[in-house]
Amino acid sequence: MSGDRVVLHVGAMKSGTSFLQSLMYANKDLLLERGVLLPGPRWAYQVRAVRSLFNGDGQLWEGLVDEVVRHEGTSVVSMEFLGPLRPPLVRRVVESFPDADVRVVITARDLNRSIAAMWQETVQNGRTWEWDEYVAAVTASRPGHRPREETQAGRTFWRQQHIVRIARTWAEVAGPKRVSLVTVPQPGAPRDLLWERFASVVGTDPAGLEPARAANESIGAASTLALRRLNELLDAEGLTFDDGARLRKGMLAKRVLAARKKQEPTIGLQVADWVEVQSRRSRTSLKRLGVQVVGDLDELTPVEVPGIHPSAVDQAEVTEAALAALAWAMADRIRSEAEESAGLAPAERPLAADVRDDWSSDGGADHDVRHAGQGD
């Protein structure tokens, strides 16, 4: 595959990754006509292939590599698990394509918006950390600051959001000239601007793509609190993340509760002094690394997240969100029983098919460190 290009989009989480993944797979055939391969029928294939690198025998990863090698042109592998990998695994990934022009893309959003988005993501992924607990853990574990007591919440956040460390690790293996940092535009920018920047690194025309279904849709403050409490109850029942992941995130969060988003307030976050300092240091360090910047590092300047503190959420709204979830669960159960009586196999049931599609396309696979196969 001499002369061919492999674009490794390695994260970071909550930086428009699901938007880009959904858009590309929704236009998979069109992109292939333009010479750009997305290995696998759906994005879930890439999730499993990457996870096999550190959780299995690597067979699925080798299958993905074989598909890329057979393609004459550009291939895109997009999976957030890749970002925080340690150097030996980063080297293995890059060396999987010895004859290709390997390019690494890191998408990055400003730190303040990332904190708010990541807390909600951890709740959707089954965590039970309260908002103040989470923010305190992220604050205490920030780079260059030694916490009195290291927390899992803090480690989890910075493993996924330490953009400088991620960029440095990949630059040391692939070379800084082959690493592109694509900044996420700040609020108010055209929606397609992130895709246009990403496409410029891939080397494809950004125009003419069909819009994708909303990807990794966020939920409102009341729904987040209801889901966090549900996680506590599921934990008390001894249910692991995997036991309820498809329904909790793929269906309950992304479809039932996301539909209520406009009815609910959102979680807000003012820009703390330490966030300003940390962001400024990160921008300086990224300049020194010598990676290619697509966009503007000033877009990583933290901005306020409009909304309210979770303690200000009306408990009646939390109850309504919980009842909406309960109503959906009962309706789903009634439909399932009716379909079983009609002799429909699970794969033929419309709701089951919807869950599988949603899980594959919206970033539903658990990005949490518990399932990332990485030590501390």
Domain boundaries, the chain: 5-111+159-218+270-302
Mean pLDDT of the chain: 88
Predicted confidence band at 346 (pLDDT cuts at 50, 70, 90)?
low
Q: Is the CA virtual torsion 308, 310, 317, 259 positive or negative?
A: positive
* Cα 27 off chain centre by: 20
pLDDT reading at 257 higher than 60: yes
What pLDDT score does 55 carry?
Answer: 84
334 vs 84, which has greater pLDDT? 84
What pLDDT score does 368 carry?
Answer: 38
What pLDDT score does 344 carry?
Answer: 61
5-111+159-218+270-302 CATH choice from 3.40.50, 1.10.730, 1.10.3470, 3.10.150:
3.40.50
CB 348 within 8 A of CB 169: no
Predicted confidence (pLDDT) per residue in 221-233, tens digit? 999 999 999 999 9
Predicted confidence (pLDDT) per residue in 74-103, tens digit? 999 999 999 999 999 999 999 999 999 999
pLDDT reading at 333 higher than 80: no
pLDDT reading at 372 higher than 50: no
| pTM beyond 0.85 | yes
